[in-house]
């Protein structure tokens, strides 16, 4: 049974009801270990009426790629290619999947498209090991719209929800109130996505007053950025608040050394990132270093579109393309080209060292991408 459709009805390339019936048999049947998070004994009491997350939920750590939003040539939402990303993540042992967020071009989606996409993703992943996280933020900051997305996520079987801050809001009292309201909407774990100048003080206050908030995707510029902030966040929350990295996961080895619990690149090479994470946390640090190096070496071969890699790997149908948000600069811009394909483009450039001009690698067409995958990455691809 689906949530009632809103008045606007943008077309999608597959009828939702028929599509979801086709997906029933979906993915793997192994559940990840539960990861309930207890409050510290000396923490500040929860806000009145706030739900406490129930035990037994899927684990929220590891590789959580941000899903792309595929559309057809006439700009209709391609539910099959969208859901295929979840199938890939389950098949390849990728720990989680998140949609729709910044790299998903979420601001281009209507409410009906978001509902249809969420239902397709959750139906595909039902019974699978991959943890499914649904974005619930509103383009206008409409709290009632946020609640519709949150309730819809619960109804359709999401494992967690994530929210960007309301657009254009810098007042941290308003932001605290917003996340307290979102935290009261469901019992699902809430991931807070920081942006702009959201302070550590704000993150800690949300942690103290919202029991469902135990994971933050930290992309704030305040305090020197996530790599500089994680130590203080861990210390001030008694290491109960788990920190996820974003911004392309450019420094994954350093991130794991610093204690990041999760990482959010794109989907195209998510299985290789997941292998890196698994090796590192099995104590095989040199092998993890080498695996991450393969990602950096691959993207050094040339400029390739994210969609080209997804098509080459059979995740997207031929001709599918991602609908991206308009470029606005900074953390709000959707990724493109090689950085989007692997999620670590800037790491390779900075690792090369030296000042002077930045030399862009040559463009690779679809056949060249396929050849590069087969020549260099095939033994390491799990999906």
Domains defined for the chain, CATH in brackets: 19-380 (3.20.20.70)
pLDDT recorded at residue 330: 38
Mean pLDDT within 96-115: 98
Q: Compute the distance between CA of residue 74 and CA of residue 272 in angstroms, rounded to an integer.
A: 33
In terms of C-beta distances under 8 Å and separation of at least 24 residues, what long-range contacts does 2-5 make, across chains too? Answer: 2/115, 2/119, 2/156, 3/115, 3/148, 3/151, 3/152, 3/155, 5/112, 5/115
Q: Pick the residue with more confidence: 47 or 203? A: 203
Percent of the chain with pLDDT over 90: 73
pLDDT recorded at residue 345: 40
Query: Which pairing describes strands 262-263 and 62-63: parallel, antiparallel, or unpaired?
Result: parallel
> Sorting pLDDT into bands at 50, 70 and 90, what band is 175?
very high
Is the model's pLDDT at 306 over the cut of 70? yes
pLDDT recorded at residue 2: 44
pLDDT (tens digit, 9 = 90+) per residue, 216-249? 999 999 999 999 999 999 999 999 999 999 999 9
Q: H or E stretch including 131?
A: strand 131-135
Q: H or E stretch including 103?
A: none
pLDDT recorded at residue 119: 98
Sign for the CA dihedral angle at 347, 349, 350, 351 comes to positive
Is the model's pLDDT at 141 over the cut of 60? yes
pLDDT (tens digit, 9 = 90+) per residue, 307-362? 999 999 999 998 889 998 875 433 344 333 334 444 444 333 333 334 456 677 78
pLDDT recorded at residue 324: 87
Summary mean pLDDT of the chain? 83
Least confident of 37-46, 143-152, 155-164, 325-334: 37-46
pLDDT (tens digit, 9 = 90+) per residue, 255-292? 999 999 999 999 999 999 999 999 999 999 999 999 99
pLDDT (tens digit, 9 = 90+) per residue, 6-58? 444 334 443 333 333 333 333 333 233 333 333 233 333 333 344 444 444 68
């Amino acid at each position: 049974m689906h949530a009632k459709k809103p008045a606007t009805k943008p077309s999608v390339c597959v009828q939702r009801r028929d599509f979801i019936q086709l997906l029933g048999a979906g993915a793997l049947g192994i559940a990840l270990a539960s990861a309930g998070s207890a409050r510290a004994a000396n923490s500040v009491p929860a806000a009145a009426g706030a739900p406490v997350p129930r035990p037994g939920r899927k684990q929220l750590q590891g590789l959580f790629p941000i899903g792309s939003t595929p559309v057809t040539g006439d700009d209709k939402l391609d539910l099959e290619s969208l859901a295929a990303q979840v199938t890939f993540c389950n098949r390849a042992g990728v720990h989680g999947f998140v949609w729709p967020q910044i790299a998903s071009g979420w601001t281009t989606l209507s409410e009906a498209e978001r509902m249809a996409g969420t239902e397709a993703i959750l139906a595909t992943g039902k019974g699978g090991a991959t943890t499914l996280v649904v974005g619930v933020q509103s383009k206008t900051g409409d709290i009632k719209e946020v609640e519709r997305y949150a309730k819809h996520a619960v109804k359709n079987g999401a494992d967690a929800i994530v929210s960007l801050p309301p657009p254009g809001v810098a007042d941290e009292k308003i932001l605290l109130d917003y996340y307290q309201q979102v935290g009261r909407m469901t019992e699902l774990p809430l991931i807070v996505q920081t942006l702009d100048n959201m302070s550590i003080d704000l993150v800690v206050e949300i942690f103290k007053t919202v029991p469902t908030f135990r994971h933050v995707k930290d992309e704030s510029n305040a305090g020197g950025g996530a790599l500089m902030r994680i130590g203080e966040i861990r210390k001030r929350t008694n290491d109960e608040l788990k920190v996820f990295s974003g911004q392309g996961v450019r420094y994954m080895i350093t991130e794991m050394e610093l204690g990041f619990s999760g990482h959010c690149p794109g989907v195209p090479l998510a299985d290789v990132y997941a292998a890196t994470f698994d090796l590192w946390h099995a104590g095989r640090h040199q092998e993890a270093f080498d695996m991450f190096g393969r990602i950096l070496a691959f993207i050094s071969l040339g400029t390739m579109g994210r969609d080209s890699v997804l098509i080459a790997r059979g995740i997207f149908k031929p001709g599918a393309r991602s609908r991206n948000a308009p470029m606005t600069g900074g953390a709000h811009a959707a990724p493109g080209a090689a950085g989007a394909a692997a999620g670590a483009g800037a790491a390779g450039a900075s690792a090369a060292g030296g000042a002077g001009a930045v030399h862009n690698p040559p463009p690779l067409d679809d056949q060249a991408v396929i050849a590069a995958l087969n020549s260099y990455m095939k033994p390491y691809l799990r999906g």
